[in-house]
Chains A and B, each alone.
Chain A
Amino acid sequence: DAGITQSPRYKITETGRQVTLMCHQTWSHSYMFWYRQDLGHGLRLIYYSAAADITDKGEVPDGYVVSRSKTENFPLTLESATRSQTSVYFCASSESLGNYGYTFGSGTRLTVV
């Protein structure tokens, strides 16, 4: 299917476990982004990538790791999950960093217990 897909849609994990959220886009967009959305904070940028093997930190990168070995995939890993990482995570993609809007995936609701 064309577009941007995230998996899983829902995930419950325990504190201290490693968890990876997946993101795949079919448009060959150069830029991909990970945001988290929390009540009262809106969308906050975690990491973004300008191309394969090029990543950069956003506003809230601590506790997260990203990689981008292929243009179409941009997984986000929580190395040791904490309760404060309970959130809704959105992946997005775009042709540019700021000239065009971003298209978002459907999100992953992560609960850390």
Chain B
Amino acid sequence: QKEVEQNSGPLSVPEGAIASLNCTYSDRGSQSFFWYRQYSGKSPELIMSIYSNGDKEDGRFTAQLNKASQYVSLLIRDSQPSDSATYLCAVTPDTGRRALTFGSGTRLQVQP
């Protein structure tokens, strides 16, 4: 079992819709959770961090964390074609004693 799992996609949504990206992790001791956006040929860019159960909103982005279910998600409201990218989930396992572990990413396509 991979430590951090994501559906590779592509996830295709129409412009203006809500995109929902999901991530599960295996280590119950994981403490910190991050979402990165990576455009093709570019480096990952941090867009959201979340540390406690519940929702965290930042503009059109909402991160959701459920530690009991070992599940973290990213919602993108009013999706734009410029949101088309690969979204990487990253987790700090082992109560923070290890470096970030990344999922393989979900490719999002926003159709104009």
Residues of chain A at the chain B interface (Cβ within 8 Å): 33, 35, 40-45, 48, 58, 90, 97-107
Contact = CB atoms under 8 A, between A and B. Distances in A.
Contacts of A33: 99-100
Nearest to B105: A42
Interface residues of B, number: 23
29 contacts: A33-B99, A40-B104, A42-B88, A42-B102, A42-B104, A42-B105, A43-B44, A43-B102, A44-B102, A45-B100, A48-B99, A58-B99, A90-B44, A97-B92, A97-B97, A97-B98, A98-B31, A98-B92, A98-B96, A98-B99, A99-B31, A99-B32, A99-B96, A100-B32, A101-B49, A103-B46, A104-B45, A106-B43, A107-B43
Interface SS of chain A: helix, strand, loop or mixed? loop
The 7 closest A-B pairs by CB, nearest first: A98-B92, A42-B104, A98-B96, A101-B46, A43-B102, A104-B43, A101-B34
Interface of B: 31-32, 34, 36, 42-46, 49, 88, 90, 92, 96-105
B9 to A, nearest CB: 13
A97 B43 contact: no
A106 B100 CA distance: 18
A58 B93 CA distance: 13
A48 B100 CA distance: 11
B90 to A, nearest CB: 7
Contact of A43 (B42, B46, B49, B88): B88
